[in-house]
A and B are shown apart, each in its own frame.
Chain A
Amino acid sequence: MDSILRAAAMYVALMLLFRVAGRRSLADLTTFDFVLLLIIGEATQQALLGEDFSFTNAILVIATLIVLDVGLSLAKLNAKPLARLLDGHATLVVEQGRFLHSRMRRARLTEDDILESARDSQGIERVEQIKFAIVERNGKISIIAQE
């Protein structure tokens, strides 16, 4: 029974921690972010499994995590406010070729981050060529070019 409770507690704790970290934190995975993610996984693993390395325990833990994750997405389907609360909104950071600096600051984004995304996805060279840049709910930056 305690492995179920442990997995549920860990799910909630990780959700809170990553909510604090913000949506941008692991959006564009650099090599270092990837290593960080692995270390986080390592740190979590012991607390999730405890001393019990049995097949049954592993399946129970995985099942609990999937039940919670699917359950939460079902709940989000039915309750829009909950979805808004958990996933947030997309936010504009460039509008008609103009950076929205205080929004970018709050979202911990630099001009370089946005221009990098613009080059990467649309081959855009200057900010004037961007019509809209949007930080999506998953932290990725979408770029819509000027016509």
Chain B
Amino acid sequence: MDDDELLSRHYPVEENMRMQQRVWRFERAGWWCLVLMVVLALLGLFGNGPLSDATAISTDGRVQVEYQRLSRSGTTDNLRITVRGTSAEPVMVLLGGSLLREASIETLQPEPQASLSQGKALLLQLGTSRDGVATLYLTLRSEHVGTLEGVVRAGPSSTVRFSTFLYP
């Protein structure tokens, strides 16, 4: 910048060019921060993107949960649970954890054959397809802010734990 233009004028207004330069630098840095925020949001830092989409699989591989690692309070999230059982035999799936307690289940597809409560958790009986796979689609909404844990269990060694962080 021109040296003369950097000098503070005192007439007709009292200037403080050092301060003014700091303001300009702040504006420029702030703009880059906003650009970064937009790019990260596109990547899914605030939900619904590659950074946020996640899949958790139980140790024996029978239960698979597709969930959002990051989400926002008050929005609906999709949760897909796939359970491998024996052909044409119903499987029992236990849904628990703070996520399923705090969040309200807006939709549950397909309708389970039976739905029971077990302590604070939810026990569902699902019908399987011919190849022995049961899939459950859930839509969840929570007003909670912070981390919520979900547990899906379909047997002693078929447990999936996952957690979702909800932005305000």
Contact = CB atoms under 8 A, between A and B. Distances in A.
Interface in A1-56: 9, 16-17, 19-22, 50-51
A132 B27 contact: no
A100 interface: yes
Nearest to B145: A2
Given A19-B30, A84-B19, A89-B19, A102 B13 contact: no
A50 B26 CA distance: 32
Contact of A20 (B5, B13, B34, B74): B34
Contact of B20 (A50, A88, A134): A88
Interface stretch (A69-77, A90-98, A116-124): A90-98
Interface in B1-53: 1-2, 5, 9, 12-16, 19-21, 23-24, 26-27, 30-31, 33-34
Nearest to B11: A132
A-B pairs, top 10 by smallest CB distance, nearest first, are: A20-B30, A90-B13, A106-B24, A102-B1, A100-B5, A22-B27, A102-B2, A89-B16, A102-B5, A92-B9
B26 A19 contact: yes
B9 A89 contact: no
Contacts of B5: 100-103
Interface residues of B, number: 22
Nearest to B29: A20
B16 A84 contact: yes
Interface of A: 9, 16-17, 19-22, 50-51, 84, 88-92, 95, 100-103, 106-107, 132, 134, 144
A20 B27 contact: yes
B27 A91 contact: no
B13 A92 contact: yes
Task: State the main secondary structure of chain A at its contact with B.
Answer: mixed
A18 B94 CA distance: 49
Contacts of A16: 30
A134 B13 contact: yes
Contacts of B9: 92, 95
Given A21-B27, A100-B5, A106-B21, 20 more contacts: A20-B27, A20-B30, A20-B31, A20-B34, A84-B19, A88-B20, A88-B23, A89-B13, A91-B13, A91-B15, A91-B20, A92-B12, A92-B13, A101-B2, A101-B5, A102-B1, A103-B5, A106-B1, A134-B13, A144-B12
A107 to B, nearest CB: 7
Interface in B74-125: 74
Contacts of A144: 12
A14 to B, nearest CB: 13
A89 B34 CA distance: 24
B15 A89 contact: yes
Given A20-B34, A102-B5, A107-B24, A134 B19 contact: no
Nearest to B1: A102
A19 B34 CA distance: 12
B146 to A, nearest CB: 14
